[in-house]
């Protein structure tokens, strides 16, 4: 029987009195380790019809080598995995640009109602009137929030929304007999923006940021010409700053016949205060897992609804939800100018139910409060830490702020070391090294759902890390020591590639 | 409902700390011209009970697969979702986390994805899977991008028997990528197309959109001989009984993964499965979890080969995908491990047997025939009717409590999962006879 001391690095004796788990059969690490030939969790009803013969040429020769485990094995295994993971329900998660706000439980209850969860996507419209009305109401609400005319729910995430928007731009210019070549993006943009531009068949033209951290207007004017199809931008931008010249930017792009795309990653900051449509934007995507509190699932699912101005409505992916004169809801498929189909069905409906719960639970007044509390929290936190972690730019932060850990470099401490130390101090760290234009960036987004106490505790942790960098930098470089694992060798993961057992 | 925890005193004191006295001042630098000068035209917020009443009322206006007997297919299926799948995948430490950018706090999600990838590789008999894409249609789009990148060739051939929604998606995305998918084949199953040296990939769905088994081995072999990538659109739950993509000679396998422990959800969230050979691993789109060690030499997991991805490579990335369908992939992994190799086989046998029985039973009626009577099928089949339109038949069957469809190329699809009983199939046969009276 093996003895596995828990929480003690190999080679060190466990501290006297420390718990020792003896021969725990669940210590093996993967489901494959747990697998025993002949063990099985599943049960199926006895076959009540004759066996069907399949021709030999089509048959699988050897069984798929899946784990052979019992139900209890599975429950303990995944419970243990969950315990080795940190979510918003575990604690503060100030990951900049990700809006990791609290995910209301009522939204889960709603999404698991059989009347939503058990709908087949090929059901005729008459049998899904409630689902279509939900989508229709949500579309109306998102259009009001963004100042747009109509929306599609097909994009499964923000990046898919970006590509959808760019294909809409393409269809628009093509219809005008005016194919164009370039899309302008700020140098602070998310990586998805240039990647989407390429997938839409356009070229990227990068516009630099100025000393304020905002789009450099002069450079933009020089960059634009009549081969610019459009511009993609977040506002507030990825530095957490409001693009104060947005109307000039819009005018510059519109004057050469381009369209303005609003990357909704940062919409949380301006809910109920500023609408993309009123800033001159033509196309908007929203990230429901950011702004509308749908759980991100460790990487997905999201949903990336795209809303557009009236003149772009004909190009939306088909089908779209419509209400006829009798108040009946339907999916309209016959849309000759549509760009086509972005998702296999209608998008991540289950996620949209959750977004609906958030939007209508909060209501118009609540959403405005969401935005202002998010901005208040970010500003308060920035104020508390900027002495040690100077803001990358002077302007007033909106829902998030970008600091730099540059002052700690003289101690040999990098932004990543600060992040790892924050883990030991009890929090998920901020985003690091983004935006790319900021040296040693720490991008912090507290969201509106954090109390002043959690902000203070996080600020204390950041300040402690700064102090330690000064006094004992090794503490940061050794961190984390309290997480389920210590720092992981990412270079080795890529070099000695092991992505399958 | 309000989730911001601030008391009035908090707001006041926090503003004071900023040297401000009102929240409006936080927006003072925003140009007045763009500020909304009225409240949003939305209903006021409501309590949780009122909200749930509203949502329950909407849900109650839908017919659904507990209320209708679900023989619907076409890519989404009413397979049984065992209780443990969402009891585990729905654990909030997993569900409320973000993409694992800090691996030390994300070992649960990362290991679960590594195990998902491993099971997909074993299932498909291929060597490299990513951590999921949005759905089956977008997985196919990404497979085409991979094939075009790997071969440096332009043309994309797709079987006419493939899911029409997938072909539509290819047309849409092809506008941006610079190709137009070219359909090949006719009838209920295809033959190897005449693939020239400029063909990047040949796509076959097997079982196809009619449920019919394709001569996939032959088509893939011919495609690879001409240097094209063979793309297999597969049904993951068929692979307990049907030969897997890798064995059939496919280079890239993609699937709609809904059937693996995910609810019907009116079309999403589902997951897109993609797997390929190791030689193309650096062309895979999206997240990939990999095993490594930590500073103490203990095993752990990270996102790997990130140099492929948009946040590093920007416009040179293999794809723009960022958020994927991680939680659905975790559910799929729980489900596959629940099934195990024997369960997977038994389930496949059950689906095939019930579909065979259903096809025989339904076509006992003189006005009902299989659209492709001479071709083998797996768990769904296509019906044609002498005197009625498939849409009319579908609608009339709903009145009698049965959900079938969708209608594909003028044929009505009927799918049988392991959940459908002989009694239900007999009931459907009677209902159909009644409809056709």
* Mean pLDDT per 10-residue section of chain A, whose length is 501 residues: 40 52 57 96 97 90 97 96 96 95 98 98 98 98 98 98 98 96 94 95 96 96 97 96 98 98 97 98 98 97 98 98 97 97 98 98 97 98 98 96 97 97 97 94 97 98 98 97 95 96 95
Tokens of B389: 């339109």
Residue of A nearest to B65 (CA): A118
Q: Which residues of B touch A270 (CB under 8 A)?
A: 30
The model's confidence at residue B310, banded by pLDDT at 50, 70 and 90, is confident
The whole-angstrom distance between A469's CA and the closest CA on chain B is 20
Q: Which residues of B touch A81 (CB under 8 A)?
A: 94, 107-109, 111-112
Tokens of A1: 């029987």
Hey, are the CB atoms on A499 and B290 less than 8 Å from each other?
Answer: yes
Mean pLDDT of chain B: 97
Report the alpha-carbon distance of residue B130 to residue B121 in Å, rounded.
10
Percent pLDDT > 90 in chain B is 96
The per-residue DSSP string of A338-404 comes to ----SSSSSS-HHHHHHHHHHHHHHHHHHHHHHHHHHHHHHHHHHHHHTTTS-BSSSSPB-S-EEEE
Give per-residue pLDDT as tens, B401-414.
999 999 999 999 99
User: Is B291 in a helix, a strand, or coil?
Assistant: strand
Inform me whether the C-beta atom of residue A85 falls under 8 Å from chain B C-beta atoms.
Answer: yes
- Do B116 and B101 form a contact (C-beta atoms < 8 A)? no
- pLDDT attached to residue A53: 87
Number of CB pairs, chain A paired with chain B, less than 8 A apart: 704
Task: Tell me the H-state helices in B125-196.
Answer: 136-151, 164-177
Query: What is the pTM (predicted TM-score) of this model?
Result: 0.96
Determine the average pLDDT of the residues in B273-300: 96
- pLDDT attached to residue B311: 86
Q: Which residues of B touch A122 (CB under 8 A)?
A: 72, 74, 76, 405-406
- pLDDT attached to residue A9: 45
In the DSSP assignment, the letter for residue B44 is: B
Give the position of tokens 């002069």.
A218
- In angstroms and rounded to an integer, the radius of gyration of the C-alpha atoms of chain B is 25
User: Is B403 in a helix, a strand, or coil?
Assistant: strand
Instruction: Kindly state the helix (H) or strand (E) to which residue A217 belongs, with its residue range.
Output: helix A217-223
Q: Please report the ipTM that was assigned to this predicted complex.
A: 0.98
Q: How are beta strands A203-207 and A182-186 bridged, if at all?
A: parallel
Q: Which residues of B touch A275 (CB under 8 A)?
A: 36
Question: What distances in angstroms separate CA A183 from CA A61, A224, A313, B123, B151, one per listed residue?
Answer: 51, 9, 21, 41, 27
- Count how many residues are written for chain A: 501
The alpha carbon dihedral of A185, A187, A190, A194 has a sign of: positive
How many CB atoms sit inside 10 A of residue B365's CB? Answer: 16
How many CB atoms sit inside 10 A of residue B378's CB? Answer: 26
Hey, are the CB atoms on A87 and B96 less than 8 Å from each other?
Answer: yes
Determine the average pLDDT of the residues in B346-353: 98
Which residue in the set A40, A66, A93 is minimally distant from B336, CB to CB?
A66
Q: Which of residues 35 through 54 in chain A touch B, CB cutoff 8 A?
A: 39-42, 44-45, 47-52, 54
In the DSSP assignment, the letter for residue A483 is: S
User: Is A185 in a helix, a strand, or coil?
Assistant: strand
Determine what percent of chain A falls in helix, strand and coil, rounding each to the nearest 5.
40, 15, 45
- Do A451 and B7 form a contact (C-beta atoms < 8 A)? no
Question: What distances in angstroms separate CA A388 from CA A229, A383, A407, A462, one per listed residue?
Answer: 43, 10, 8, 9
pLDDT(B316) > 70: yes
Q: Which residues of B touch A66 (CB under 8 A)?
A: 119, 122-123, 336-337, 339-341, 344
Which residue in the set B72, B334, B341 is minimally distant from A122, CB to CB?
B72
The whole-angstrom distance between B282's CA and the closest CA on chain A is 10
Which residue in the set B11, B264, B376 is minimally distant from A58, CB to CB?
B376
Tokens of A124: 């005729």
Question: What distances in angstroms separate CA A457 from CA A216, B8, B24, B180, B293, one per listed residue?
Answer: 37, 20, 26, 56, 31
- pLDDT attached to residue A29: 84
- pLDDT attached to residue B81: 98
- Least Cα distance to A399 among A287, A275, A269, A271 occurs for A269
Tokens of B8: 């009035």
Report the alpha-carbon distance of residue A104 to residue B48 in Å, rounded.
10
Determine the average pLDDT of the residues in B97-122: 97
Any residues with CB less than 8 A from the CB of B92 and at least 6 apart, and which? A87, A89, A295
Report the alpha-carbon distance of residue A359 to residue A368 in Å, rounded.
11
The whole-angstrom distance between A220's CA and the closest CA on chain B is 20
Report the alpha-carbon distance of residue B256 to residue B260 in Å, rounded.
9
- E-strand ranges in A249-345 read 259-264, 283-286, 306-308, 320-323, 329-332
A201: left (phi over 0), alpha (psi -120 to 50) or beta: left
- pLDDT attached to residue B2: 87
Give the position of tokens 């497979």.
B143
- pLDDT attached to residue B341: 98
Show the CA angle centred on residue A480, arms to residues A478 and A483, nearest 5°: 150
Hey, are the CB atoms on B323 and A428 less than 8 Å from each other?
Answer: no
Burial of A41 (0-12, 13-18, 19+ CB in 10 A): buried
Report the alpha-carbon distance of residue B266 to residue B269 in Å, rounded.
9
- pLDDT attached to residue A78: 97
pLDDT: is B219 or B312 the higher one?
A: B219
Q: Which residues of B touch A201 (CB under 8 A)?
A: 175-178
- pLDDT attached to residue A8: 44
**Which of B267, B293, B389 to probe by mutation at the A interface, max A CB count within 10 Å?**
B267
Hey, are the CB atoms on B291 and A201 less than 8 Å from each other?
Answer: no
């Amino acid at each position: 029987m093996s003895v596995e001391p828990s929480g003690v690095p190999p080679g060190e004796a466990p501290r006297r009195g420390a718990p020792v788990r003896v021969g725990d059969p669940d210590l093996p690490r993967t489901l494959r380790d747990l697998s025993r030939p002949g063990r099985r969790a599943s049960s199926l009803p006895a076959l009540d019809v004759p066996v069907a013969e399949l021709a030999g040429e089509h048959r699988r020769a050897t069984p798929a080598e899946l784990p052979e485990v019992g139900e209890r094995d599975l429950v303990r295994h995944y419970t243990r995995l969950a315990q080795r993971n940190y979510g918003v329900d575990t604690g503060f998660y100030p990951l900049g640009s990700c809006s990791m706000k609290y995910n209301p439980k009522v939204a889960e209850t709603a999404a698991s109602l059989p009347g939503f969860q058990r709908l087949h996507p090929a059901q005729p419209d008459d049998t899904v009137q409630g689902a279509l009305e939900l989508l229709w109401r949500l579309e109306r609400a998102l259009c009001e929030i963004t100042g747009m005319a109509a929306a599609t729910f097909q994009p499964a995430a923000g990046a898919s929304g970006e590509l959808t928007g760019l294909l809409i731009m393409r269809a628009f210019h093509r219809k005008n007999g005016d194919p164009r070549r370039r899309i302008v993006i700020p140098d602070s943009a998310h990586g998805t923006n240039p990647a989407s531009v390429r997938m839409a068949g356009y070229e990227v033209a990068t516009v630099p940021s100025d000393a304020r951290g905002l789009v450099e207007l002069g450079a933009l004017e020089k960059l634009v010409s009549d081969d610019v199809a459009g511009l993609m931008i977040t506002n507030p931008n990825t530095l957490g700053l409001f693009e104060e010249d947005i109307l000039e930017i819009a005018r510059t792009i519109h004057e050469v016949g381009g369209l303005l795309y609003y990357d909704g990653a940062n919409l949380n900051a301006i809910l109920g205060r500023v609408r993309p449509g009123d800033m001159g934007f033509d196309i908007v995507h929203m990230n429901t897992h950011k702004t509308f509190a749908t759980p991100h699932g460790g990487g997905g699912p999201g949903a990336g609804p795209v809303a557009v101005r009236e003149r772009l409505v004909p190009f939306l992916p088909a089908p779209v939800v419509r209400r006829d004169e009798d108040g009946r809801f339907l999916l309209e498929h016959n849309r000759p100018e549509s760009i086509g189909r972005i998702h296999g069905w209608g998008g991540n409906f289950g996620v949209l139910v959750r977004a609906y719960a958030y939007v209508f639970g909060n209501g118009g007044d609540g959403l405005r409060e969401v935005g202002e509390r998010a901005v208040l929290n970010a500003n308060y936190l920035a104020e508390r830490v900027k002495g040690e972690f100077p803001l990358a730019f002077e302007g007033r932060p909106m829902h998030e702020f970008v600091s730099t850990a540059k002052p700690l470099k003289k101690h040999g401490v990098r932004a990543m070391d600060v992040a790892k130390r924050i883990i030991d101090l009890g929090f998920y760290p901020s985003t690091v090294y983004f935006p790319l234009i900021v040296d040693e960036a720490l991008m912090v987004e507290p969201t509106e759902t954090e109390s002043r106490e959690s902000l203070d505790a996080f600020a204390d942790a950041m300040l402690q890390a700064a102090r330690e960098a000064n006094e004992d930098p090794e503490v940061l470089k050794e961190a984390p020591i309290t997480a389920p694992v210590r720092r992981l060798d990412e270079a080795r993961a890529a070099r000695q590639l092991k992505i399958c057992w | 409902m309000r989730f911001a925890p601030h008391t009035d005193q908090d707001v006041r004191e926090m503003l004071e700390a900023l040297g401000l006295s009102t929240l409006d001042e936080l927006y003072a630098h925003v140009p007045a011209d763009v500020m909304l000068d009225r409240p949003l035209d939305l209903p006021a917020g409501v309590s949780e009970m009122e909200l749930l009443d509203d949502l329950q009322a909407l849900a109650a206006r839908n017919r659904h697969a507990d209320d209708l007997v679900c023989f619907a297919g076409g890519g989404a299926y009413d397979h049984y979702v065992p209780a443990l799948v969402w009891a585990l995948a729905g654990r909030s430490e997993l569900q409320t986390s973000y993409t694992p950018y800090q691996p030390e706090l994300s070992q649960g999600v990362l290991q679960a994805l590594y195990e998902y990838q491993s099971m997909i590789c074993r299932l498909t008999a291929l060597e490299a899977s990513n951590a999921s894409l949005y759905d089956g249609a977008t997985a196919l789009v990404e497979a085409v991008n991979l094939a075009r990148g790997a071969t440096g060739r332009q043309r994309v051939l797709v079987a006419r028997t493939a899911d029409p929604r997938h072909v539509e998606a290819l047309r849409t995305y092809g506008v941006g990528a610079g190709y137009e998918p070219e359909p090949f084949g006719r009838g209920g199953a295809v033959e190897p197309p005449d693939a020239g040296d400029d063909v990047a990939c040949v796509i076959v769905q097997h079982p196809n959109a009619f449920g019919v088994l394709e001569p996939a081995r032959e088509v893939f072999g011919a495609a690879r001989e001409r240097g094209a990538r063979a793309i297999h659109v597969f049904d993951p739950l068929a692979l307990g009984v049907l030969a897997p993509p890798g064995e059939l000679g496919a280079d890239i396998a993609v699937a709609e993964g809904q059937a693996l422990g995910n609810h019907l959800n009116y079309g999403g969230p589902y997951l897109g499965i993609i797997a390929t050979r190791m030689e193309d691993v650096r062309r895979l789109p999206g997240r990939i979890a990999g095993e490594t060690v930590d500073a103490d030499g203990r095993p752990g997991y990270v996102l790997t080969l990130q140099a492929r991805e948009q946040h590093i490579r920007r416009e040179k990335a293999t794809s723009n995908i960022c958020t994927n369908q991680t939680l659905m992939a975790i559910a799929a992994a729980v489900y596959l491990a629940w099934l195990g190799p024997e369960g997977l086989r038994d389930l496949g046998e059950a689906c095939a047997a019930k579909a065979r029985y259903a096809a025989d039973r339904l076509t006992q009626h003189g006005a009902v025939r299989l659209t492709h009577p001479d071709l083998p099928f797996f768990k769904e089949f296509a019906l044609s009717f002498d005197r009625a339109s498939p849409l009319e038949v579908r609608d009339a069957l709903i009145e009698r409590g049965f959900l079938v469809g969708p209608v594909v190329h003028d044929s009505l699809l009927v799918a049988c999962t392991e959940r459908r009983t002989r009694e239900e199939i007999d009931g459907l046969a009677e209902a159909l006879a009644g409809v056709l009276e």
